[in-house]
Each structure stands twice: as C-alpha cells, then as structure tokens.
Amino acid sequence: MRKLFLLERTMRKCSGSMFANIGMGSISVDQNLSKSQRILQYIGITLVAGAAMFFIGRFSMGIFGQFAADGLHTLAYEAICVGLMLICLFLATQKALSLFFLSGDNETLIHMPIRPGMIAFAKALVIYRSCAIATGMIGIPILIAAQICSGGTVISFAAAVLVPLLLPVPPVFYVVLLSIVMMRYIQIGKTKESRASTITVIFMLIMFLVPQLLNLLQKGVNTGGGVEAVVESLGNVIRIFEYIFPTTFLTVGSLQEGGILALVLLLAAILLIVAVYAWVADKLFLKAILQAGHHGSKQKVADEKTILRYGSASHSVKKAYARKERQLLFRTPVFFLQSVLLTLIMTVLFAVLCVFLLVRMMSEITEMGKMELGSYEAYIWYGALGVVLLISALAVAFTHVTSTCISREGKNFPYMKTMPVPMKTQLAVKSRIGLYMAIAGALPFVIIINYICLMLSVSPLFIPVSLIASMSVLVLGNDVQMYLDCSSPILNWENEYAAATNNHLLGSALGPLLFVAVLMGIGAGCYMICKTLWLPVIAVVLVAAVAGSWMLHNWLYAKAVKNIENL
Amino acid sequence: MIELNNLTKSYTGGQKKAVDNLSWKINDGEIAGFIGPNGAGKSTTIKMMTGLVSPDSGSVALNGFDITKDALRAKQQFAYVSDTPDNFLRLKVIEYLNFIADIYQVSEEDRNSRITDMAKRFDLMEVLERPIMEFSHGMRQKVMIMGALVHNPSIWILDEPMVGLDPNAAFTLKELMREHAAAGNSVLFSTHVLEVAEKLCDHIGLIVSGQMVFQGTMEELKGRYPKGTYLETIFMEITKNA
Ligand SMILES: Nc1ncnc2c1ncn2[C@@H]1O[C@H](COP(=O)(O)OP(=O)(O)OP(=O)(O)O)[C@@H](O)[C@H]1O
Ligand SMILES: [Mg+2]
C-alpha cells in the first residue's frame, strides 16, 4: 500500500499541476518558496476555492429551487451527475493521454520489482484524484444546496458529500481501461498519429452530435421548442449516459429521499469496479507496454535528389519560421488535439447549433424585423456588440496556440534564442498563427450575429463596428496570451502534454474583455448624457479601442521580449 | 575570435557562483577545449557566450561583436550545439536542415552541397526524410551538428559534441574541426574525454567550481608534473586541490 501511494505521488508530480487542467495554470503552490510562504499560498488557495464553492452553492440554490418547483427533482439530480461525469471524462482523457501514452516512466518502472498492476493502479489514482478535486469543488456545493432546498435528511447530506467523490470512479476507470487497451495499437508519443486521434475524436463527436441535432430538428417541427423540448433532449443525453455508466441510477437514487440503500449499493458497486480494474490491469498492462512502440513511420530511402527537392522551397526567414511552427503544431498529436482540433470542433459544433436555432427562430425574427425599432436600436446595438465581444474573448481564450507558443519549444528554446532573428519577429510569427485560429473560431458567430442584426433592420454600420471591436479583443487577447507564456513558460518538459497545459484561460479572456467593457461603459455613459448622439459616441469609443489596443499591443510585445531575454 | 571578459554568473537560489570572474581569449585558427568536472560551470559559460543566459557581470565578444549589445550580429557569427540532442523531434532531418539554412539565409547552392557533403560524411543520407524522433541518441547528435554547421559560421561553440557518437562520426567531427580551424576560424568545445582534448586542442581551459584554474596548451599543463604522469592523474590532482 505504501508503495502504491509513493508511486501515485511521484507520478502526480511528474504529470503537471492539478489545476492546470481546469485552465487555472497559474494557481498552484510554488514548491520553491519557503515554508511560511507556502502555507500562506495554501491558505490563499483555500480561501479562493471556498469562496468559489460558496458562490456555486448560492447560485445553484436558486436554480434548483426552480427545478423543484416544477417537480423535476430527479431530472435535476440526473443532470448534475451527468454533467459532473462529463467533466470527469474530459479531464480523465487528458490526464490519461499524459500518463499512459506520453509518459516515459513506463519503461523505467517496469524494470523495478513492482507488480505491473500496481503501476497501472497508481496512474489511475492520479487521474481519479484530479477528477475528484474538480467534481468535489463543483458538485459538493451544488448538491448540498439542493439538499437544503429539499430539506434532506442527514443521510442525504452525507450522500451529497460522498457522491461527487465517488462519481469519478466509473468514468476514470473506463477511460483508463480503454487507454490500456489502446496503448498496444496507438503510440501517440513516438510517431505521428494525429490522423488516428483526429478520426477518433471526430467519430466520437458525430456519434454524440447527430442524434442531438436530429432530436432538436424534430422537436422544433413538432412542438415548436420551449421548455419541454429542452427537458426532453436533456433526458435523452442522460439516458445515453445511464447506458454507458449504469451506476448513474445509484448515484441519483442515493441523493433522493430514503436513499440509504442506493448509497450502500453504490459503495459496493464502486468497490467492485475498483477490484475488477485492479485485476484486469494486472493482466493487461505489462502486455500493453511490451507491445507498444513497434510502429515507425514509413521508411523512405532518401538520396541527393531529395536534398535538391527540399532545398528549393521558399527561403524567406519569416516563411521558414512559420512553416516550422505549423509543422510542429500539426504533427505533434497533443498540440494538434489541444490547440487546433479542439478549437475547430468547438467552433463547428456551436456554429452548427446556432444555425439550427436560427433556422428554427427565423419566423419570429422576421416578424420582429418588421417592427419599428426607434430608440430600441441603441439597446440592440449594445447587446449585440456585447455578445460579439464575449464570443471573441472566448474564442481567443480557448485557442491554445499562442498561449503555449514559447512553452511548445521546450528544449528547442535555446536554439530559438541563439538564432539571428529578433525575438520580436519570432513572437510575431508565432502569435499570428494563434490569431488566425482565434479569428477562425470567432468569425462564424460574428457573421451569424451580424446577420440577425441585419434581419432586425439594424443600421448596416453595425457590420464594420462589430468587426473592429471583435478584432481588437482577438488581437489583445492573443497578445495577453503571448505575454503570459513569455513570462512563465514551461520549458523543461519531457512529454509534450506538460507544455500544452500552460494556458491561462482566465487572464487571456478577462483582460481584453475588461478593456473593452470599460470602453463600452464610457460609450454607454456618453449615450445616457446626450441621448441622440449614440452613433458618434460609438465611433469615438471605437477609435479609442483601436488606439488603445494598438498601444497595449506594442507594450505587451516589448514586455514579452524583455521577459524572454531574461529567461 | 572569442573573448570572455570577467564573466560572473550565479543562479537565483544557488549558494555559490556557477561561474566566477572567468576570462578567456580564443584566437582565430585555434581549437579550444573546455574541461572540468561535472557542475563546474562549462555549460553555463557556453550559455553566456551564446546569449542564452545573461551574465551578472562581464562581457562576451564574438569576432568583436558584443553578445548583449550587438546581439543579432554576434549571433550571425557562431554555430551552437547544445548538450541535449533531443530537439525538433517532430521535424524530418532534411526539413530541420533547410529550416536552419533559411533562418541564416544560406543560398540554395551552398546548402545543397553542404548537406550532401555532411550527410555522406555522417552516414545519414538515407534517413534524411525520417523524423528526428525515430533516431538514436548518436544520430540525433549528428543531426544537431549538421544543423549547426550548415550555415558555415566562423565560430563553432559545441557543448559536449562527442557524447554518443560512434568512432567514425567522432573522427569525422574532429576532422571537420581541424579543417575549420585551419581555415582561420575558432572552435570551442567542452568535453570529458581528456585524450580528445590532448590530441585536438591548441589550447585548453580547465574550470573547477566556476573558476578557471588553468589556461594554456596541454604541453604546458603536463610540463608542471613529472614526466609520464597520466592526464587522468593530473586532472584529479587539480580538481582535488582547487
Ligand atoms: N538552470 C539552473 N538553475 C540553477 N542552477 C543551475 C542551472 N544550471 C546550472 N546550474 C548550476 O550551475 C553549476 C554549473 O552547471 P553547468 O551546467 O554549467 O556545469 P557543467 O560544467 O556543464 O557540468 P557537466 O559536465 O555535468 O555538463 C552547477 O552547480 C549547477 O547546479
Ligand atoms: Mg554541461
């Protein structure tokens, strides 16, 4: 047992900070600090986490009250459990990628006098731990709030604490077992398998998305949308989950009145799963490791003609640099998955959903478009502009290309630094790729919103205004990401996964949003004062936005370059 | 020509100085060997020379260009091979070499002839189109050396370049260094193999815990000890006493 926890601790430390996955890369205790400073940091983190949990609880109390009033207790519990399990699946997949496919410790550990099953078990524990922290932080306050609302017994309060901690077990072990089985066939770390991983992800998405879309369309035609349709499609997702993870019944059951039997059964089921896992892992893990790593790329024999062929490409410094960036980004499965595919999939997914919603609401929109807008036009302008800005901020925050631009280099970084290419040029090339990705992520939605606004017969001036505002958020967010990565890059990584976690989701989205919000606030204030002048006001705000972001852009670059020089 | 003037560096949190007031001058046409025990400060010195680490005090001039004040022109002067060969693993060898050639603006003719020549000498011709990731340690080291030399700079700075090379490749590298120095350029490399330093270097620098304890030719160093003393013994004597 002692050995198991020792293994777990070592692996956890090697696989990156536990918060990195939730996008809070910067919040983790720095082990280099003195003891008192460390304690202070722990207290700080506890306070922040406590406050966050309190807000989650407070917030969900209202929502749960609403559900309870509609008599939808069970559905609410189900939705919570399934939501938490989805989070687990997401986190577990990421961690499993790092711990099973990309870690170099397998080959070292297998030589030691440790049962292979124990290695696999320790890895699963690492994953479970990070999932349980997430589900605990989110789930416990929500469920306690729910129990307060419905006046639960002591046992149901105990269940509210236990369930979020037990919930991750089935998804985690599911993912881990799948990883062990897949390890034999896919060797992500060693060769380029981005094609295989792309196909897998897209396939999974289609499996998930198509039934939902069909559902949505059908419901739209039959009932004309509304609450029932939402409840219905939510129910469908939950059914799917209950098929995959039969324990969902027990989790939901144990939260309800008289749930003690379900709770006991749940505990028993979890124990069973763990036992089965330990047994299966012991049987499979060694074989998986031994069989992995026998795949190489197709070996071509090169000769002098090859040299001539490659040597005649474009020779401009910037183009060569950008080409190398793209090659690294697209060929490294982890970067490709995290930085490129995720953004594209999110965009496609949400854009498709938006278009479907739009199609369904078309008649209502055209109806509204016929009305006189009058003084409401200003509100629509501001509302739509706000949405555009929010979407741009999200698009840039979820694109991890720029936020990992220096970290991705890892051990190549010394070579980048000794090149006779100014750091500013290198950074500009790097962040431009991220900017293009972010634009690709935001543009479909900006177009959709513009379309709606035009349908509502808002002045066509909205198009350039929204485009400029969106661009300034994208550029600024991208710059902030670059700056953050330059000030604290992760360079000493053994597996690429560690570099991919250096994304400061909050900072890169909040900073530019705040900037634009301040500007828009000034604009709104001006409008309040002189009601008729709202178009000129927006023009002034825009000029300020462009000038401000241009200045901030240059300032961030200068700071970033300075940080890099001092690394 | 490489000039190091009073270089000092201590890492944050480090108790003692990693490099302490180190001065060294390597003339054109010279091969200089940098030797010293593990953790003595060789890599740190090399990193300060190449602009990877900024010194606390002191200066570095490469062919007269200061690495901090005139960084870009100084960077044009040298080729650098770091102590880990695991770089650019996802690129194919030929892509990597062309990338470096593009960055240093090597003409198409030059790069093609240099790559062909080196690929033949290092026996990598057939694997040019394979990703570096699939290579052994020694093959990766060869690729890094080729990358450093493809733009034919006048100064070579190599951090333990012989590690992992087979006898053929080590011989080729030594030959390349000699040719390069004979053409009036300077080469500096660190090594733990005293025999290599003895046979190859015109000049050696021995560093012990951050301080240069000996500079000069191998003959001068040996002259201080009774005739016939092994190099190893000399090395151990010096490092123990320092
Ligand atoms: N990034 C760093 N942070 C803190 N200390 C460092 C760092 N890099 C090196 N050091 C310290 O500086 C000293 C010199 O290290 P350096 O790498 O220059 O030694 P070296 O002579 O190259 O050794 P080796 O022969 O093992 O390569 C060592 O004490 C080392 O611990
Ligand atoms: Mg070294």
Domains of chain B by range and CATH? 2-77+153-239 (3.40.50.300), 85-151 (no CATH)
What pLDDT score does A297 carry?
53
Q: Which of A192, A294, A307 would best serve as a mutation to test chain B binding (most B beta carbons within 10 A)?
A: A307
Question: Would you say residue A300 lies in a domain?
Answer: no
What pLDDT score does A31 carry?
53
Nearest CA in chain A to B77: A420
A311 and B111 within 8 Å at the Cβ level: the answer is: yes
Q: Clarify whether residues A272 and A386 are in a common domain.
A: no
Q: Which amino acid is at B68?
A: T
Q: Clarify whether residues A239 and A322 are in a common domain.
A: no
Nearest to B131 among A297, A411, A414 (CB): A297
| Residue B26: its H or E element | strand B19-26
Which residues sit opposite B208 in a β-bridge? B211
Asked which of A48-52, A84-88, A362-366 is least confident by mean pLDDT, the reply is: A362-366
Q: B39 CA distance to ligand 2 centroid (A)? A: 7
Q: Which of A292, A324, A339 is the last residue of a domain?
A: A292
What is the mean pLDDT of the segment spanning A225-251? Answer: 71
Q: Is B141 on the interface with A (CB under 8 A)?
A: no
Nearest to A420 among B76, B86, B91 (CB): B76
Residues of A in contact with B72 (CB under 8 A): 420-422
A324 and B47 within 8 Å at the Cβ level: the answer is: no
Nearest to B84 among A190, A316, A411 (CB): A411
For residue A162, the Cα-to-chain-centroid distance in whole angstroms is: 26
* pLDDT interval class at A400 (50, 70, 90): confident
A306 and B128 within 8 Å at the Cβ level: the answer is: yes
Q: Ligand 1: residues within 6 Å at CB? A: B 11, 14, 18, 36, 38-44
Q: Clarify whether residues A390 and A271 are in a common domain.
A: no
Question: Would you say residue A43 lies in a domain?
Answer: yes
Show pLDDT as tens, one digit a residue, over chain B (242 residues). 899 999 999 987 767 889 999 999 999 999 999 999 999 999 999 999 998 888 999 999 999 999 989 989 999 999 999 988 888 988 899 999 999 999 999 998 999 999 999 999 999 999 998 888 888 999 999 999 999 999 989 999 999 999 889 999 999 999 999 999 999 999 999 999 988 898 899 999 999 989 999 999 888 888 888 888 888 888 888 888 76
Mark out chain A residues that contact chain B at CB-CB < 8 A. 32, 190-192, 296-297, 299-304, 306-308, 310-313, 315-317, 319-321, 323-324, 327-328, 331-332, 411-412, 414-415, 417-422, 565-566
Backbone angles phi, psi at B237, to 5 degrees: -60, -50
Q: Clarify whether residues A337 and A221 are in a common domain.
A: no
- Residue numbers of B between 156 and 215 with CB closer than 8 Å to A: none
User: With 60 as the cut, is the pLDDT of residue A72 above it?
Assistant: yes
User: Ligand 1, residues B4, B9, B11: which to mutate, most atoms within 8 A of Cβ?
Assistant: B11
A465-485 pLDDT, tens per residue?
Answer: 888 888 888 998 899 888 888
* Percent of chain A surpassing pLDDT 90: 5
Cβ-in-10-Å burial (0-12, 13-18, 19+) of A158 comes to middle
Q: Is the dihedral of CA A499, A502, A508, A511 positive or negative?
A: negative
What is the distance in angstroms between the Cα of A23 and the nearest Cα belonging to chain B? 26
B13 and A32 within 8 Å at the Cβ level: the answer is: yes
What pLDDT score does B147 carry?
93
What pLDDT score does A224 carry?
47
Nearest to B72 among A313, A316, A420 (CB): A420
Q: Clarify whether residues A285 and A328 are in a common domain.
A: no
Q: Kindly give the number of the ligand 1 atom that is closest to the alpha carbon of B44.
A: 18
Nearest-CA neighbor of A339 among A424, A402, A288, A381? A402
Arithmetic mean of pLDDT over chain A: 77
Residues recorded for chain B:
242
User: Ligand 1, residues B4, B35, B42: which to mutate, most atoms within 8 A of Cβ?
Assistant: B42
Q: Nearest ligand to the C-alpha of residue B205?
A: 1
User: With 80 as the cut, is the pLDDT of residue A111 above it?
Assistant: no
Question: Would you say residue A496 lies in a domain?
Answer: yes
Tally of domains in chain A: 2
Q: B164 CA distance to ligand 2 centroid (A)? A: 14
Asked which of A241-255, A381-395, A426-440, B110-124 is least confident by mean pLDDT, the reply is: A241-255
Question: Would you say residue A102 lies in a domain?
Answer: yes
Q: Clarify whether residues A388 and A273 are in a common domain.
A: no
Question: Would you say residue A183 lies in a domain?
Answer: yes
Nearest CA in chain A to B111: A311
Give the A:B interface size as CB pairs under 8 Å: 116
**Cβ neighbours, 10 Å, residue A487:** 16
Nearest CA in chain B to A329: B90
- Which ipTM did the prediction report? 0.87
> Which residues constitute the domain of residue A550?
316-352+379-566
Q: Kindly give the number of the ligand 1 atom that is closest to the alpha carbon of B13.
A: 4
What pLDDT score does B161 carry?
93
What is the mean pLDDT of the segment spanning A253-281? Answer: 85
Q: B105 CA distance to ligand 1 centroid (A)? A: 33
Question: Would you say residue A373 lies in a domain?
Answer: no
Q: Which of A304, A305, A310, A318 would best serve as a mutation to test chain B binding (most B beta carbons within 10 A)?
A: A310
Q: Is B12 on the interface with A (CB under 8 A)?
A: no
What pLDDT score does A26 carry?
36
* pLDDT interval class at A207 (50, 70, 90): low
**Token pair for A489:** 């890059």
Q: Nearest ligand to the C-alpha of residue B39?
A: 1
Nearest to A300 among B80, B103, B129 (CB): B129
SS (H, E, C) A188-257: CCCCCCHHHHHHHHHHHHHHHHHHHHHHHHHHHHHHCCCHHHHHHHHHHHHHHHHHHCCHHHHHHHHHCC
Q: B35 CA distance to ligand 2 centroid (A)? A: 10
**Token pair for B239:** 């490092």
How many CA atoms does the CB half-sphere of B156 hold within 13 Å? 35
Q: B217 CA distance to ligand 2 centroid (A)? A: 22
The DSSP code for A300 is P
* pLDDT interval class at A25 (50, 70, 90): very low
Question: Would you say residue A298 lies in a domain?
Answer: no
A191 and B134 within 8 Å at the Cβ level: the answer is: yes
* pLDDT interval class at A241 (50, 70, 90): confident
Q: Kindly give the number of the ligand 1 atom that is closest to the alpha carbon of B16.
A: 29
Which residues sit opposite A163 in a β-bridge? none
Residue whose pair of structure tokens reads 């919040």 in the numeric block: A27
Q: Clarify whether residues A171 and A212 are in a common domain.
A: yes
Residues of B in contact with A328 (CB under 8 A): 88, 90-91
User: With 70 as the cut, is the pLDDT of residue A193 above it?
Assistant: no
Tell me if A141 sits within 8 A of A54, measured CB to CB: yes
User: With 90 as the cut, is the pLDDT of residue A313 above it?
Assistant: no
Q: Clarify whether residues A13 and A90 are in a common domain.
A: yes
Nearest to B102 among A190, A301, A317 (CB): A317
User: With 60 as the cut, is the pLDDT of residue A22 above it?
Assistant: no
Q: Clarify whether residues A339 and A229 are in a common domain.
A: no
Q: Whose CA is nearest to atom 22 of ligand 1?
A: B43
What pLDDT score does A435 carry?
92
Q: Clarify whether residues A326 and A219 are in a common domain.
A: no
B179: CB partners within 8 A, 6+ apart: none
Q: Clarify whether residues A283 and A390 are in a common domain.
A: no
Q: State how far the Cα of A100 lies from the Cα of A92, in Å rounded to an integer.
A: 11
Q: State how far the Cα of B19 lies from the Cα of A15, in Å rounded to an integer.
A: 33
B125 and A418 within 8 Å at the Cβ level: the answer is: no
Q: B82 CA distance to ligand 1 centroid (A)? A: 13
Question: Would you say residue A366 lies in a domain?
Answer: no
Residues of A in contact with B102 (CB under 8 A): 315-317, 319-321
- Name the residue with higher pLDDT: A164 or A52: A164
| B207: three-class secondary structure by DSSP | strand
Backbone angles phi, psi at B12, to 5 degrees: -60, 130
Nearest-CA neighbor of A445 among A480, A414, A410, A473? A473
* pLDDT interval class at A222 (50, 70, 90): very low
Q: Clarify whether residues A495 and A399 are in a common domain.
A: yes
Q: Whose CA is nearest to atom 9 of ligand 1?
A: B44
- Residue numbers of B between 86 and 105 with CB closer than 8 Å to A: 86-88, 90-91, 94-95, 98-99, 101-105
What pLDDT score does B157 carry?
94
Rg (CA), chain B: 18
Q: State how far the Cα of A442 lies from the Cα of A495, in Å rounded to an integer.
A: 30
Q: Whose CA is nearest to atom 18 of ligand 1?
A: B41
Rg (CA), chain A: 26
Say what the pTM is: 0.77
